[in-house]
């Protein structure tokens, strides 16, 4: 196969089984020419729309925009997935080059006066266009997109806006790569019996796998959460817990080429300038203007309403942990690297809950099966393994997703194990969105996690929190797979940021229902089901440690909003000092660290996806806590009518209607915020 043919393989429509991308053809050296060819094609398409002699119509303008740049969409989706899950130096070099080019191409569309004029012409005639509700919403989304990206600015404003976008793309890429570099660079060798004290056989097996992946002999703990959190939870070596904790919180702030502190200041200044160009007081005002919250004050009020009871509970929890230290003869004050270790002791004492005894009931394979089962009960879905589909890594697996009639809904790919080449965290990625503009296009959806590697799938055991993560990300996947929107812009998870977490957080509830635990929480070795007594203890322990968990999350959300509410941030500002001042203003307990310190806060600095929007997890939790009550009130967690409304108005609806309306159509009323405090046990 010559080079031209190879490049064409990643440019043309995907023809693999169920629309699978051409992973086998995706060699690093092909992406630069593929991007250039896709850019050129997209420019020609933009010119054809802008220069059309025909009067603007919904089809020749808005639908044409929906079809715009399909080759570029395919190349970018494939490339960025690979760089995030299988990154290496060649791919990351291409990412640094292509990220600002992509930003330049995107903003060139929004600043194209010919296309904006056509969109405005349609907007002025919208009442006479006989559009259905989905088309009307799509027209508004496109017009809002143009306005929010500078289309109405004068020429100097447009030029500055474009320069800002390009620079922000460079900064976000550098930020992410720096965090990954720090994570790759650090390992904690566990060379002696003492180094391994308290750690389970399963953890040590994973640590050995981590060592093999890095070419070292001794087992190692890493900065992946799947390694970091259980080490802090079980290691009896307080000095090693402190060492790993400090390395974890120091990511992105170690000096040298991978230091993110200058990047943060410049990013905040550029975002504020962009918002100011558009007439907003701050970047937070700009960002929330088209979200459910609408105003930063509304988001801050929600956080404040939760913060006070959570902080009181966290201080009570800290006193209880300090009492355990004293009872054991410890002569030291509780520190952040001690919390998980002593909390685990307290949980075991209060609930007779031993994570090591519970984990054998939560194998990765059984939890995947459980997530599929719930989707079948709620939405009539079936999942067929497809080992014949060539994927990008031996860890990844594929399933055909079908509805009750057997019709294919899409392709689902799961990539669950941590590896040095993979970005940390867990996420859902739609490699291809569902649409029905000219023929049905089924989605291709991926769930990525970073669970501790095991040599055999049956040996990969999840903590209860990790099982929740699996269900959470699968909720996002269903949001993409079930989409019935006609247009890609409105499809799947393309919804308001403070609504997008609702379907995923809601899905977590089914994991801990007795029916699901009885069926799927079976011991890895004996296949015996979890006892009713243990199920009771698992359910009872759900609200344990909620002060700590709520405080560490809210702390990061407060910092995010505070940084982005600045009207004139300075590019050389000490962002870490601003973070510390914000935490001090809220009387952050010294025994708890914010879930994300700013130098590695990828949610808000790797891109603008969650910038000024990290609060959205809590906002969505109000919806999920209240929403699950609909099933409780019906007397059946799989009630068919409630599930139908949930599917029709939430999981399948995408952004075809206002999210508040979508919630009301599902629930029959607005959400009741007190459900959140009840769920977390903070009342």
The position carrying tokens 């169920």 is: 18
Residue entry with tokens 């060819």 = 37
Taking alpha carbons only, the member of 496, 406, 488 closest to residue 444 is 488
Does the annotation count 473 as an active-site position?
A: yes
In the numeric block, the tokens 């509830």 are attached to: 509
Q: Is 26 left (phi over 0), alpha (psi -120 to 50) or beta?
A: beta
H or E element at residue 107: helix 89-110
Strands 444-451 and 427-432: antiparallel
Quote the tokens at residue 20: 């699978």
Cβ distance 521 to 530 under 8 Å? yes
Task: Judge whether 467 and 355 are in contact, CB under 8 Å.
Answer: no
In angstroms and rounded to an integer, the radius of gyration of the C-alpha atoms of the chain is 25
- Contact (CB, 8 A) for 113 and 186: no
Nearest Cα neighbor of 619 from 502, 531, 488 is 502
Q: Which residues of 465-494 are buried (b: 16+ CB within 10 A; e: fewer)?
A: ebbbbbbbbbbbbbbbbbbbbbbbbbbbbb
| Beta strands at 382-385 and 444-451: parallel, antiparallel or unpaired | unpaired
Q: How many CB atoms lie within 10 A of CB 540?
A: 13
| 404 SS3 class | coil
Question: Bridge-partner residues for 430, per DSSP?
Answer: 445
Tokens 């715009």 appear where? 68
How many CA atoms, within 13 angstroms, populate the side-chain half-sphere of residue 489?
A: 21
Please tell me which residue in 134, 166, 209, 473 is annotated as part of the active site.
473
Q: Specify whether the CB–CB gap between 445 and 413 falls below 8 A.
A: yes
Distance of CA 624 to the CA centre of its chain: 17
User: Which residue, 551, 463, 552, is CA-closest to 245?
Assistant: 552
Q: Output DSSP code: residue 361.
A: G
CB distance 94 to 31 below 8 Å: yes
CB distance 197 to 189 below 8 Å: no
DSSP reduced 3-state for 384: strand
Residue for token pair 């919180």 = 249
Q: Helices 201-214 and 225-234, interaxial angle, to 10°? A: 140
- Let me know: does 224 contact 237? Beta carbons within 8 Å: no
Q: Are 564 and 271 in contact (CB under 8 A)?
A: yes
DSSP annotation string for 474-542 = HHHHHHHHT---SSGGGSTT-S-HHHHHHHHHHHHGGGGSHHHHHHH-B-TTT-PBPPHHHHHHHHHGG
Q: Cβ(233)–Cβ(355) under 8 Å? A: yes
Measured CA angle at 468 (ends 465, 470), to 5 deg: 115
Residues 113-144 as b or e (16 or more Cβ within 10 Å = b): eebbebbbebeeeeeeeebeebbebbbebbbe
Which sequence positions are flagged as catalytic? 473
């Amino acid at each position: 196969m010559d080079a031209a043919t190879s490049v064409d393989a990643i440019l043309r429509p995907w023809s693999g089984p169920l629309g699978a991308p051409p992973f086998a053809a995706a060699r690093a050296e092909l992406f630069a020419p593929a991007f250039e060819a896709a850019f050129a094609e997209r420019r020609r398409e933009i010119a054809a729309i802008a220069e059309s002699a025909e009067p603007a119509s919904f089809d020749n303008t808005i639908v044409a925009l929906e079809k715009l740049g399909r080759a570029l969409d395919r190349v970018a989706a494939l490339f960025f997935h690979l760089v995030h899950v299988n990154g290496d130096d060649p791919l990351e070099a291409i990412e640094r080059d292509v990220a600002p080019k992509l930003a330049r191409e995107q903003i060139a569309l929004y600043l194209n006066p010919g296309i904006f004029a056509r969109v405005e012409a349609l907007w002025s005639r919208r009442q006479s266009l006989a559009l259905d509700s989905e088309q009307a919403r799509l027209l508004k989304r496109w017009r809002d997109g143009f306005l929010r990206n500078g289309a109405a600015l004068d020429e100097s404003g447009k030029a500055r806006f474009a320069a800002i976008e390009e620079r922000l793309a460079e900064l976000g890429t550098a930020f992410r790569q720096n965090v990954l570099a720090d994570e790759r660079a650090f390992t904690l060798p566990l060379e002696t019996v003492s180094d391994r004290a308290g750690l389970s056989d399963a953890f040590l097996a994973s640590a050995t796998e981590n060592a093999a992946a890095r070419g070292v002999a001794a087992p190692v703990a890493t900065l992946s959460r799947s390694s970091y959190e259980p080490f802090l939870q079980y290691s009896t070596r307080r000095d090693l817990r402190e060492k790993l904790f400090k390395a974890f919180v120091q990511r992105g702030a170690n000096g040298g080429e991978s230091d993110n502190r200058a990047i943060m200041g410049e990013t905040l200044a550029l975002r504020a300038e962009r918002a100011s160009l558009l007439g907003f007081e701050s970047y937070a005002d700009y960002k929330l203007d088209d979200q459910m919250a609408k105003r930063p004050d509304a988001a801050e009020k929600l956080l404040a309403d939760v913060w006070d009871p959570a902080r009181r509970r966290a201080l009570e929890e800290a006193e209880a942990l300090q009492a355990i230290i004293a009872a054991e003869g410890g002569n030291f004050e509780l520190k952040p690297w001690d919390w998980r270790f002593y909390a685990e002791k307290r949980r075991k004492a209060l609930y007779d809950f031993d994570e090591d005894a519970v984990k054998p009931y939560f194998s990765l394979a059984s939890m995947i099966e459980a997530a599929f089962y719930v989707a079948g009960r709620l939405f009539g879905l079936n999942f067929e393994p497809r080992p014949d589909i060539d994927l990008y890594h031996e860890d990844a697996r594929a399933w055909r997703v079908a509805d009750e009639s057997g019709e294919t809904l899409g392709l689902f790919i799961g990539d669950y194990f941590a590896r040095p080449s993979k970005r940390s965290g867990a996420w859902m990625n739609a490699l291809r969105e569902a649409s029905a503009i000219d023929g049905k296009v089924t989605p291709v959806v991926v769930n990525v996690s970073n669970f501790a590697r095991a040599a055999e799938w049956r040996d990969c055991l999840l903590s209860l929190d990790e099982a929740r993560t699996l269900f959470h990300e699968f909720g996002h996947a269903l949001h993409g797979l079930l989409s019935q929107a006609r247009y890609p812009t409105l499809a799947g998870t393309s919804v308001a940021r403070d609504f997008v977490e609702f379907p995923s957080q809601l899905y977590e509830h089914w994991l801990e229902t007795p029916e699901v635990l009885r069926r799927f929480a079976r011991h890895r070795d004996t296949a015996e089901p979890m006892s009713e007594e243990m199920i009771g203890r698992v359910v009872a322990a759900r609200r344990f440690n909620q002060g700590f968990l709520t405080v560490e999350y809210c702390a990061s959300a407060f910092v995010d909003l505070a940084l982005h509410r600045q009207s004139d941030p300075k590019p050389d500002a000490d962002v870490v000092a601003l973070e510390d001042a914000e935490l001090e203003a809220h009387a952050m307990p010294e025994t708890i660290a914010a879930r994300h310190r700013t130098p590695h806060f990828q949610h808000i600095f790797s891109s603008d996806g969650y910038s000024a929007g990290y609060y959205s997890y809590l906002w969505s939790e109000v919806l999920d806590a209240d929403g699950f009550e609909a099933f409780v009130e019906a007397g059946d967690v799989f009630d068919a009518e409630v599930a139908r409304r949930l599917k029709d108005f939430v999981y399948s609806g995408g952004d075809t209607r206002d999210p508040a309306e979508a919630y009301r159509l599902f629930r029959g009323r607005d959400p009741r915020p007190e459900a959140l405090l009840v769920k977390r046990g903070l009342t």
